[in-house]
Structure 1
Amino acid sequence: MYKSNAFCRKILCGVAFAATVFSTPTFAANDYPNKPIRILVGASAGGGTDILARALAEKFSQALKQTVVVENRPGASQTIAADNTARANPDGYTLLAATNTNQAIAPHILKLSYDPLKDINAVGLIAKVPHVLVVGKNSPYKSVQDVVNAMKADPGKLTYGSSGIGSTQHIAGEAFNLATGAKATHVPYKGSSQAHADIISGEVSMMFDTTSSAMSQIRGGTLRPLAVLSPERSPELPDVPTLAESGIKGADMYTWYGLFVTGGTDPKIVELLNKTLNDALATPDIQQRLKSLGGEITPMSAADLAKLNKEEFERFGKLAKEANLQAQ
């Protein structure tokens, strides 16, 4: 009888322990958020990802009644911030403003300690933006053909900047090399804003940057746009031709920005974050901000972004292999 009672007590304790363990996420989800939230950005301040993250942080703070701070962790093609997100507690308090650079391209070029498809979960799409070929205001190149002629005249002499190895700017530059049959040398930076300084000074020849990063410099007259890397002209740059109109085909490129969270975060928290994001994207000021940056808003569920991420991961994996892209 003693053994039977002891056995029953063990069973009851086990049931109670299991109930506590499995009820914790629900409690956390119902109580969320009860402390500050941080959004990690894998690029330096002033770049496109940073601009969008700070605009959303304000909206999230208002909607969730909590402090939301943006932390810049630039470097390694935005994978430092992604790695920090992957290793954070899966409680919804560490978010990642990511792009296809760190989620779909860099994993095929850099050796990472996390799986971008498993250790980081999708929340929702922020926007898609096209790329634009820019040179400094004092550059001698006034057209795409000027650039191509210079590349062919002295292969490897012209340089193009990017926000890092494996970034969409890097991929766009290599695609441009392949499409033109010419050669420009890649110069990676920790973020677009740092590359801009060297392009403006003339130390670097050009950049295939996102409109979200380059637009303020273009409007300020410090960067000169030569072509947009999209099938159609950008409404924000109506006088700038597309690469196809400039005689170059097969080098179109766009960057998508998405919000992610540590893998294993409670689905209820992910659902709340997705709703908060899509509500923010529906506000007139955010829409105007994204439009001014050349962005296209396409609200998505977490599942839809996860699907897009996987498709992009596979597409860029194939491209990286074909182009023999490697860490430099």
Structure 2
Amino acid sequence: MPTSTLLARAGAALASLCAFMPGAATAADYPARPVTLIVGYLPGGAIDQSARLVANELSKRWKQSVVVENRPGANGTIAAAAVADARPDGYTMLVTATSHNLNKFVNKNLRYDVARSFTPVALTVEVPNVLVVSASSPYQDLGQLLAALREKKKAFSYSSQGVGGVPHLAGELFKIRTGTEILHVPYKGAAQGMTDLIGGVVDMSFPSPGSAMSYLAQGKLRALAVAAPERLAQLKDVPTFAEAGVADYTISTWHGILAPAGTPADIVDQVNADVNALLRDPNVRKALEAQGNLAAQPLTPPQFGEKLARELAIYGDLAAKVDLTAN
């Protein structure tokens, strides 16, 4: 058989083999089959809702099914482990949240690396935390609360929905930034913590706006400051922490899409571009707001990766000072 024929057949065989190898997928025909977004939480929650909205909009854009699969448990680590082990071809991705980074410090037995096992794809939601007190609290603004904290005439406490969550992290970071002492009172969920906050059992909390908005609207809670660089449109009369006198205090709950490490860059870039286009759509932004979520400022994959790296560094510093482990 001529050498040229042998080389041609070898090349064809190699191309055929590469087509089945992980990472061989390209954006040219992506997506050619249904895409699965795995969510590590129960249906109906904030992360699940935003994931389903994004999935629905992407399916319209791609003319292809985008399926949300819930794999709840272990604070999202079951779903993350499944995606870390998935083929890196863009057809299985993770929709996760701030807890993804926190799990590095909360759970010492992870089967994956929160950074190296994944490729950042797109940030979808970012909701800053809010400092709230009961409407019956004597503190009308952050300055009054800080003055009382520093006088130390009484013991203060703050509630969260559990050890290692973002509200817990927000409270501990607030203590460090302000040099104050506040007892952390963890609850098994947000509802009872809010009830005790309204009733004066605890003095303050640092929830997301979605968790507090109805209580604020009902006049049961008072918001003192927003942990964001700018004021929120929904709480335009509430100052940022910087405006209220506490510099370098921003913390938020984000939702975003991660792919298995090794996913082709052109596919990652395509998904990122399509997600960012959705986030600029006024109708999508309104739909997210109706869920209690806020559309994130669109980021490129490298920018999202830089955000995750900065966050990990902050959480690492905090974990060195405060026990964030669940046990």
- Normalising by structure 1, report the TM-score: 0.77
* Per-residue deviation, residues 33-58 of structure 1 (Å, max 9, x unmatched): 34433323334445432332222121
Relative to 1, partners in 2 of residues 1:215 and 1:14: Cα closer, same or farther, differing over 3 Å? Answer: farther
Alignment pair present for 1:160 and 2:154: no
Aligned match of 1:83: 81
Letter in 2 for 1:278: N
The structure 2 residue matched to 1:110, chosen from 102, 107, 110, is 107
Letter in 2 for 1:313: L
Distance in 1 of aligned mates of 2:285 and 2:271: 18
Aligned match of 1:20: 16
CA contact (8 A) 2:50 2:293 kept: no
Aligned match of 2:307: 308
* Per-residue deviation, residues 77-123 of structure 1 (Å, max 9, x unmatched): 433332222122323232222233313x3213322111122211111
Aligned match of 1:40: 38
CA contact (8 A) 1:180 1:248 kept: no
Q: What SS class does the counterpart of residue 185 from structure 1 fall into?
A: strand
Alignment map for 1:201-220 (pairs within 5 Å): 205=202, 206-215=204-213, 218-219=216-217
CA contact (8 A) 2:158 2:185 kept: yes
CA contact (8 A) 1:290 1:297 kept: no
Q: Shift of the alpha carbon at 1:298?
A: 2.0
CA contact (8 A) 1:235 1:294 kept: no
Letter in 1 for 2:86: A
Distance in 2 of aligned mates of 1:197 and 1:93: 39
Q: What SS class does the counterpart of residue 236 from structure 1 fall into?
A: helix
Aligned match of 2:195: 200
Aligned match of 2:258: 260
Letter in 2 for 1:195: A
Letter in 1 for 2:182: K
Distance in 1 of aligned mates of 2:115 and 2:121: 13
CA contact (8 A) 2:187 2:193 kept: no
Relative to 1, partners in 2 of residues 1:45 and 1:244: Cα closer, same or farther, differing over 3 Å? Answer: farther
Letter in 2 for 1:109: V
CA contact (8 A) 1:85 1:95 kept: yes
Q: Please, which moves more after superposition, 23-32 or 84-93?
A: 23-32
Q: What SS class does the counterpart of residue 83 from structure 1 fall into?
A: helix
Q: Shift of the alpha carbon at 1:318?
A: 2.3
CA contact (8 A) 2:76 2:99 kept: yes
Q: What SS class does the counterpart of residue 268 from structure 2 fall into?
A: helix
Q: What SS class does the counterpart of residue 107 from structure 2 fall into?
A: coil
Aligned match of 1:174: 172
The structure 1 residue matched to 2:127, chosen from 119, 126, 129, is 129
Distance in 1 of aligned mates of 2:62 and 2:270: 9
- Normalising by structure 2, report the TM-score: 0.77
* Per-residue deviation, residues 174-218 of structure 1 (Å, max 9, x unmatched): 1223325222224164xxxx4135423658745312235544554
Relative to 1, partners in 2 of residues 1:56 and 1:68: Cα closer, same or farther, differing over 3 Å? Answer: same
Q: Shift of the alpha carbon at 1:287?
A: 2.5
Distance in 1 of aligned mates of 2:147 and 2:287: 33
Q: Note the aligned Cα RMSD (angstroms).
A: 3.7
Q: Shift of the alpha carbon at 1:132?
A: 0.8
Unaligned runs of 5+ in 2: none
Letter in 2 for 1:20: S
CA contact (8 A) 1:130 1:294 kept: no
Relative to 1, partners in 2 of residues 1:113 and 1:236: Cα closer, same or farther, differing over 3 Å? Answer: same
Aligned match of 2:55: 57
CA contact (8 A) 1:131 1:211 kept: yes
Distance in 1 of aligned mates of 2:300 and 2:182: 40
Distance in 2 of aligned mates of 1:37 and 1:214: 34
CA contact (8 A) 2:173 2:318 kept: no
Q: What SS class does the counterpart of residue 267 from structure 2 fall into?
A: helix
Distance in 2 of aligned mates of 1:159 and 1:12: 70
Distance in 2 of aligned mates of 1:198 and 1:84: 32
